[in-house]
Amino acid sequence: MAKNRPKKRSYRMINFKVYYDTDQDLLDWWEGIEAGERSDAVRDLIREQLGVARRKPSKAPIIDLQELLEVRRDILWIRDALNEMPNYLERLVQHMAGSAVMQATVVGQHPARASPEPALTDIDAARRAKRMRKATW
């Protein structure tokens, strides 16, 4: 039994270059689109610029570049906050331990003996900071 296969659509490939130093915003946008949706997104943008109506409704809404920049800025802020989290928690624990010692002396008990070494040595803290700067999310 012979199956009737639809004819393959003919097409033409259109390529262009984007540069890491000047077009990072375009690269970020491109990477944010799912692999199967990229051609549709580019076609929709070109048709929108030409003022031509879309043939089919788009599967995914086009993200405005300004919105994308705001999302990127928020992600960078969150990453920085997460990188600072270990230092913040260490200071918080040390502060709370100091408060517990002060409360113990007020009540009349002997203060608990603190360990002579900090939670992290300077070398360990520097190594952690270097690792966190290299981390990619």
Q: What is the DSSP letter of 35?
A: G
- Res. 106: pLDDT tops 60: no
Instruction: Mean pLDDT check: name the lowest of 3-7, 16-20, 107-111.
Output: 107-111
What is the tens place of the pLDDT at every residue in 34-52? 888 888 888 888 888 888 8
**Side-chain half-sphere exposure of 115, counting CA atoms within 13 A:** 6
As a whole number of angstroms, the distance between CA 72 and CA 76 comes to 6
DSSP, collapsed to helix, strand or coil, labels residue 100 as helix
- Res. 108: pLDDT tops 70: no
Q: Where are the domains of the chain?
A: 14-63, 64-137
pTM confidence score: 0.36
